[in-house]
Amino acid sequence: MPVYHLFFSPCSSTYDTTYAFCRAISEHAPIEVNLTDRETKVPEMPEGSVAVVAAPVYGGRIPSVMARKLERAKMKGVKAVTFVVYGGRAYEDALIEINDLCEKAGAEILASAATLAAHVFLPDLERGRPDQKDFEEIRDFGRRVCEKYASGRFTPVTVPGNRPYQEGYKAGFVPETDTALCRRCGVCIAVCPTGAINPKDPSQTDINLCINCMRCAASCQTGAKAVPAKAKAMVTAYLSGFLGKRKADEFYL
């Protein structure tokens, strides 16, 4: 069975987590589809394929741009294993949303997971994750998913979340650019999943398009892009309330 790895992962933890899962279910490398890239769409996949569909959680939902791509997808005859990766606050309606979108596209949900990664805005929250324990659990989940697939008994998968979903994430700031550090290389413009950065001036970002994914900052070689100090202080104060006990990964089969 071909395994497709469909992921949205601006800061790479969703990718790292779910690539490990893909390798646990197949000895072959998966067919990678990086939906973070602006122009990349969900491809047509042959019936009988397994699609590992993975998104980070933004405000308890999946990123709106990933949702739009899944809305246009055709996944008839595909078995989907869905993942949402979150930063230790909560994932609310993200898993039920990604499952609904895959099912509307024609896929059957084989299994689902909500797993932890360090929070992009406060890396002390779930610092170091995904770690060795996460990867062991992900490999074990892979074994159980393979058993389910081989058994041919595709029992329905029920995941937490509510319908209607809570309101989607809206950017409250845009990354700021230190113009003294910026070399105008254009990398941030090219990697932005929504085309929010002005192609003529990388220091200008459209707040109505920006989804705060921070791919621009993660990709900038000179460290010129960052969360503005005021927004950082507010987000840190809010998220600090969630520091503490390690949250457990959740697996649904």
Ligand X SMILES: Cc1cc2nc3c(=O)[nH]c(=O)nc-3n(C[C@H](O)[C@H](O)[C@H](O)COP(=O)(O)O)c2cc1C
Binding site for ligand X (CB under 6 A): 9-14, 56-60, 85-90, 117, 119-121, 169, 212-214
Binding partner of residue 253 among ligand SF4, ligand X, none, CB cut-off 5 to 8 Å per kind: none
Phi, psi of 152 (to 5 degrees): 75, 5
* Cβ count near 220 (within 10 Å): 22
Q: Report the nearest approach of ligand X to the CB of residue 23 (Å).
A: 17
Three-state SS sequence of 30-92: CEEEECCCCCCCCCCCCCCCEEEEEEECECCECCHHHHHHHHCCCCCCCEEEEEEEECCCCCC
List, as one string, the DSSP characters of 200-231: T-TT-B-TTT-----HHHHH-TT--EE--HHH
> Which residue from 224, 227, 231, 235 is in contact with ligand SF4, where contact means CB under 6 A?
224
> Which residue from 177, 235, 247, 249 is in contact with ligand SF4, where contact means CB under 6 A?
177
175 binds ligand SF4 (CB under 6 A): yes
Binding partner of residue 161 among ligand SF4, ligand X, none, CB cut-off 5 to 8 Å per kind: none
How many Å from the N-terminal Cα to the C-terminal Cα in the chain?
19
Binding partner of residue 187 among ligand SF4, ligand X, none, CB cut-off 5 to 8 Å per kind: ligand SF4
Binding partner of residue 60 among ligand X, ligand SF4, none, CB cut-off 5 to 8 Å per kind: ligand X
Closest residue to ligand X in the complex (CB): 87
Q: Report the nearest approach of ligand X to the CB of residue 158 (Å).
A: 21
Per-state percent for the chain, helix, strand, coil, to nearest 5 = 30, 20, 55
Of 54 and 79, CB closest to ligand X: 54
Where does this chain touch ligand SF4 (CB under 6 A) — which range of 34-42, 85-93, 112-120, 189-197?
A: 189-197
The two tokens of residue 60 are 């308890």
